[in-house]
Amino acid sequence: MTIANLPAAGVPAEEPGGTWSCFVLGPLGDPFAEAGSTKLKIYEETLEVYESVIQTACSGLGITPSRADELPGTGEIADQICRQVKEADLVIADLTGLNPNVIWELALRQGTGKPTIQLRDAADVADLPFYLAKVRTIMYGRSRGGLIKARDALRQTLELGIRNGFDILTPARILHGTVVDPDVLLEEDDALGLLDAYAQIEVEMAAVSDDLQDLTSSLEAITEASNAFLPEVKRLTAGGCRPSAMLAVILRYAAAMSGPAADMDRSSTVVAERLYSADAGVRLALAHVESLPRDERPEGTDEFLGILIDLEETANEAIGYLLEMSHEVDSGKGLSRQLRKPLSKISSAVGRIVSATSRISEWGIHARSLLAAPESSDRGGCPEERA
């Protein structure tokens, strides 16, 4: 079976081509706070992200974003926010700082099954709650280049969601039972056609292969830097050396890790985008295969399913290595603030890849079930009994 969007999640409130309402969650700070205060800094930083990333990405797509501080001045603010969280066609949540109100509002939103996109400052090193860490999050840097990169990533995500539909997260799938018949996808006017799907898969998978080479190169460079410095770090730690001597080695280690970590961060973003882009096509192709008796499947179907299974096995091996790397990286973040930044980039990249490759696991599981399906002559009973 294929997971489709809830009716409320697939299209805006108006007819296709109309305007999507978009409510933006995030820390707001205080524009009237004392100069130099934390509240004023939060206000200025979040406003910059709102204007430079979110508003710019939405421009031209028929999406109208708004924040809580732009709501009408009358009425109870909590009531207005809850209504926006529930009723907006789209919600974009900035998780920077893990603001408790934002987390609560995001949980409320996830239960509706309507589209939600997560953003976060790449410099924020606090661990996300597990149920949010599994959701793809667009990371942004505070530099001009970092904001532009996040803007482009958000715009691509929005374009893909509008064209192919947004994913339903686990809370809504459980609450609403959104497993539906594959024919639902085939009947949607704006859904991919079957040939579109196969063409998209071919293009995206070829690109993923190239992108994975870049990611592998980054991993090799990180491993090389770690092998060069970690023995010395362990030796100095065991020898009880002065902190200044230890710090000198850590700073050299941080400098060696900086370039590869940035490369891994970029490569992981590209790979994740490729996988998300391919996902709609793969799911449609799998739904089509499932709709046919095994002996009526087109030539090459088993080969296609085998590719997905091989991809899943390769991804699972890589995930084990990445999670082990992430554990080692987390243990080193407390050594120095200079080392924390490249290590945080690595952690973000690992989380991004792990989240994206969960789709590959779903493809592989589905492909295995289709390969194991009996011939049509062995089938009996109604379609519901065979499902």
pLDDT per residue as tens, the chain (387 positions)? 233 333 334 444 443 345 789 999 999 888 898 998 989 999 999 999 999 999 999 988 889 999 998 887 666 788 888 889 989 999 999 999 888 888 888 888 887 878 899 999 988 877 777 667 778 889 998 888 889 999 999 998 898 888 777 776 655 555 444 443 444 433 444 444 555 666 666 666 666 666 777 777 888 888 888 777 777 766 766 666 677 777 787 788 888 888 888 888 887 877 777 777 677 778 878 888 888 888 888 877 888 888 888 888 877 777 777 766 666 666 565 666 777 788 878 877 777 777 777 778 888 888 898 888 776 544 444 434 333
Helix residue ranges, H only, 59-190: 77-87, 100-110, 130-133, 144-164, 170-176, 183-187
| Predicted pLDDT of residue 237 | 66
Q: Are 69 and 25 in contact (CB under 8 A)?
A: no
| Predicted pLDDT of residue 9 | 44
Helix, strand, or coil here: 25? strand
Domain residue spans of the chain:
2-183, 192-382
| Predicted pLDDT of residue 220 | 81
Residues 6+ apart with CB under 8 A from 93: 24, 25, 26, 102, 105, 106, 109, 116, 117, 118, 119
| Predicted pLDDT of residue 52 | 93
| Predicted pLDDT of residue 198 | 64
| Predicted pLDDT of residue 25 | 94
| Predicted pLDDT of residue 3 | 32
| Predicted pLDDT of residue 57 | 93
Annotate 255-292 with b (16+ C-beta within 10 A) or e (fewer): ebbbebbbbbbbbbbbbbbbbbbbbbbbbbbbbbbbee
Question: What is 2-183's CATH number, 3.40.50.970, 3.40.50.880, 3.40.50.450, 3.40.640.10?
Answer: 3.40.50.450
Q: Are 253 and 234 in contact (CB under 8 A)?
A: no
Q: Which residues pair with 21 in a beta bridge?
A: 64
Distance CA 204, CA 183 (A): 24
| Predicted pLDDT of residue 162 | 84
| Predicted pLDDT of residue 206 | 66
Helix 77-87 × helix 100-110 angle, to 10°:
40
| Predicted pLDDT of residue 8 | 38
> The tokens of 243 are what?
């902190």
| Predicted pLDDT of residue 120 | 93
